[in-house]
Structure formats: structure tokens, C-alpha cells
């Protein structure tokens, strides 16, 4: 039976997430997937039997091909100890692209991140702001995670090495080293960090050892933030925010392979940035963020759609001139 468009999109997303652009795809040679392994080495190894499940992969030359799921070179799963977590995933340079024209403040990214990181309602690693550049300009929704900078000031000021930058571009916090001095919070120009004043511990599995890649169990008196979900990346999945967004706002991928995806659309990172005029927030500060934005032009939704949310959340936008004007007109 032929799938409708919605079912097909879900299937495509599942297939791509199972594969991810993070699967270590470097080249295809015959039936073997090469990821740091030559054809001769692959033949010498004991080959895994084919599963019969086909997934689509984008090769470095831009071709979409089907391969058996068993041939994918997957990363080690789940928990890694702190020492290993500091190294990062080999040969990767992770990057995020946020399409502001698609965002309608559905907040599914926020909610999925909160569930995945065991956060309370008021704790948000992904913040959705309402931006109005000037009184004449139309406002737009602005999702803001940690920017995982190439030159992170938070790493420089940390006195214990609790905050560290990995080779794969991800900046993490080791709560076992964090002393709660808040130097990193003060130094971050993007206000991406928050202090754990008394985290409600919902994490029941006390036997699971701590890892900076998951940030659970949480530690009261330490700092926490968006982490790009490295535990999911190791399993070939997109971060919680990217895979939960119903509008495909958030693209995620690897600079080294020049590929990003929102789970439904897979594109060249360089082409997306060049063709759409991509930019980095407050780039003049010299921190070199690894989060890029596509301008809010030809928007798909009126900004008013974003106010279909809780009153408590709406209150956060009260100082934006556009919101003040709406209140005067009795529209909000």
C-alpha cells in the first residue's frame, strides 16, 4: 500500500536517524562501507550478515544510495566514562544550522530537550526568544542553544578544567570537576549556561555511572547547559531538538563531510550557508560559534502563531515592542 506524505516523511526521518549523517560515511566501495577501513581490510574482517533492512546514505560526491543497515560503521553506544568523553567522537566537526524562516515557536525542541536531559519546567537549554531588530522591523522567533564556540571563553576562565572543548567541536561540562564558581556563566556572551540551584532529581537509575555526555544524574551546585546530545550522536541519532522540531527548523551535521540534515531534508552545509546568507550570532565577538542561522526572510508563519503557548511563557516577551503594541490593541 502506498504511504501518504506524512507517513513517508516519518519513515524517511526514521531511516535517516538510524543512519544519521554521523554514521561515519566516508565512501562506498562495492558492498563495504569504508570509514577509515580499506577494501582489503573490510574483506579480511569477518563480515556481518546482511539484515535485509535498507537505509539511504549521502555519499561525499552528493549521491543518495541505499545500503544494508548492517554495513554501517556505528559508534559505540551510550555511556562513556568522563576521560573518554573529553576526547570526543573521532574525525567529526559537528555543526548546527537554524532556519529562522521556519520557526513558529512550537517549542517542541524545548520540551524534547527537557525530557531528554531530565530538566524541570523552568530549566531550558534551548531558549526561544522573540527578536525585533528595530521598531519598524517585523519580529521573528529565535531559538538559542549553546553555540559550542571554536574559541569558547567559558573554557578559558574555568579554574578546574570542568568546562572543556572536544576535538569534535562540542563544549561540555564535567560536573565531577565543577566547583560552582560561575566564572563560565559570567564569561559566556550568549547567556547559554545556568546554575543548578537545586535540581529535582527524577533520575531513578542510581547504578548508572555519571558521564559528561549525558549530564545525569544531575549535581546540585554545578553549571549545566546544552550539550549537542553526544550520547545520541554516538548512536547515529540527531540531537533531541533537531529530531523533535515539526517544522524542520534545526539542521545538524558534520563540517568535515559538509552535510547537515533536519531528518527530512539533507543538504550540503556550505551550500546552505552560502545560498541562504547564513550567519553566526554576535560573530564580531570572535568566539566563532558552531551554530549558524539562516535569516528570517520569506517566513512560513506569522509571528502571532507563536503565542499559542502558556501565559507564563508569553510573559517573557512582554518587553518586545511588538508585544507591547499587541497588548495596546487588545490582541494579546
pLDDT, tens only, 209-222: 788 898 777 788 99
19 lies in the same domain as 138: no
131 lies in the same domain as 271: yes
The reported pTM is: 0.75
111 lies in the same domain as 55: no
Task: Provide the grid cell at 21.
Answer: 549523517
- List the domain range (segments joined by +) for residue 152: 82-294
Q: With b meaning 16 or more CB within 10 Å and e meaning fewer, what string describes 262-283?
A: bbeebbbbeebbeebebebbee
- Whether 304 maps to a domain, the answer reads no
Q: What is the CATH number of the domain that holds 168?
A: 3.30.70.20
Q: Which H or E run contains 21? A: none
Q: pLDDT tens for residues 256-270? A: 999 999 999 999 999
63 lies in the same domain as 113: no
191 lies in the same domain as 91: yes
- Whether 314 maps to a domain, the answer reads no
Model pLDDT, residue 207: 65
Integer-rounded Cα radius of gyration of the chain: 21
Model pLDDT, residue 75: 44
Mapping DSSP to helix (H, G, I), strand (E, B) and coil, where does residue 27 land? strand
**Residue 12 confidence (pLDDT) above 90:** no
- Whether 301 maps to a domain, the answer reads no
Model pLDDT, residue 306: 67
129 lies in the same domain as 211: yes
- Whether 152 maps to a domain, the answer reads yes
Model pLDDT, residue 92: 95
- Whether 254 maps to a domain, the answer reads yes
**Residue 49 confidence (pLDDT) above 70:** no
User: Which of 245, 269, 233, 236 minimizes the C-alpha distance to 16?
Assistant: 236
Q: How far is CA 274 from CA 39, 249, 267, 319, in A?
A: 35, 17, 12, 34
17 lies in the same domain as 107: no
Average pLDDT estimate for 175-194: 95
43 lies in the same domain as 134: no
* Number of domains making up the chain: 2
Task: Judge whether 94 and 254 are in contact, CB under 8 Å.
Answer: yes
112 lies in the same domain as 15: no
Model pLDDT, residue 84: 85
- Whether 77 maps to a domain, the answer reads no
- Whether 328 maps to a domain, the answer reads no
| The CA-based dihedral angle spanning residues 131, 133, 134, 140, taken in that order and rounded to the nearest 10 degrees | -40
165 lies in the same domain as 229: yes
157 lies in the same domain as 12: no
Q: How far is CA 291 from CA 75, 240, 303, in A?
A: 23, 15, 23
- What number of other Cβ atoms are within 10 A of residue 181's Cβ? 14
Amino acid at each position: 500500500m502506498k504511504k501518504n506524505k506524512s507517513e513517508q516523511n516519518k519513515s524517511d526521518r526514521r531511516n535517516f536517524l538510524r543512519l544519521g549523517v554521523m554514521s561515519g560515511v566516508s565512501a562506498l566501495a562495492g558492498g563495504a562501507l569504508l570509514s577509515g577501513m580499506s577494501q582489503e581490510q573490510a574483506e579480511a574482517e569477518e563480515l556481518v550478515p546482511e539484515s535485509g533492512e535498507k537505509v539511504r546514505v549521502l555519499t561525499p560526491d552528493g549521491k543518495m544510495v541505499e545500503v544494508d543497515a548492517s554495513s554501517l560503521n556505528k559508534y559505540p553506544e551510550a555511556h562513556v566514562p568522563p576521560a573518554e568523553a573529553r576526547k570526543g567522537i573521532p574525525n567529526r566537526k559537528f555543526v548546527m544550522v537554524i532556519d529562522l524562516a521556519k520557526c513558529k515557536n512550537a517549542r517542541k525542541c524545548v520540551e524534547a530537550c527537557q525530557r531528554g536531559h531530565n530538566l524541570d519546567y523552568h530549566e531550558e537549554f534551548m531558549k526561544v526568544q522573540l527578536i525585533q531588530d528595530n521598531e519598524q522591523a517585523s519580529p521573528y522567533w529565535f531559538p538559542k542553544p549553546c553555540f559550542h564556540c571554536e574559541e569558547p571563553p567559558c573554557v578559558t576562565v574555568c579554574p578546574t578544567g570542568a568546562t572543556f572543548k572536544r576535538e569534535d567541536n562540542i563544549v561540555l561540562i564535567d560536573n565531577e570537576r565543577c566547583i560552582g564558581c560561575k566564572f563560565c556563566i559570567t564569561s559566556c556572551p550568549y547567556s547559554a549556561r545556568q546554575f543548578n540551584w537545586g535540581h529535582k532529581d527524577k533520575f531513578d537509575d542510581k547504578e548508572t555511572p555519571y558521564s559528561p555526555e549525558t549530564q545525569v544524574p544531575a549535581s546540585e551546585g554545578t553549571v549545566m547547559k546544552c550539550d549537542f546530545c553526544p550520547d545520541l550522536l554516538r548512536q547515529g541519532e540527531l540531537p533531541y531538538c533537531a529530531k523533535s522540531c515539526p517544522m524542520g527548523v534545526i539542521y545538524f551535521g558534520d563540517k568535515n563531510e559538509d552535510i547537515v540534515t533536519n531528518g527530512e531534508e539533507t543538504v550540503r552545509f556550505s551550500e546552505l550557508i552560502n545560498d541562504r546568507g547564513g550567519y553566526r550570532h554576535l560573530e564580531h565577538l570572535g568566539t566563532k560559534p558552531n551554530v549558524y542561522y539562516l535569516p528570517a526572510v520569506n517566513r512560513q508563519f506569522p509571528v502571532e502563531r507563536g503565542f499559542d503557548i502558556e501565559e507564563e511563557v508569553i510573559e517573557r516577551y512582554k518587553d518586545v515592542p511588538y508585544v507591547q503594541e499587541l497588548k495596546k490593541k487588545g490582541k494579546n
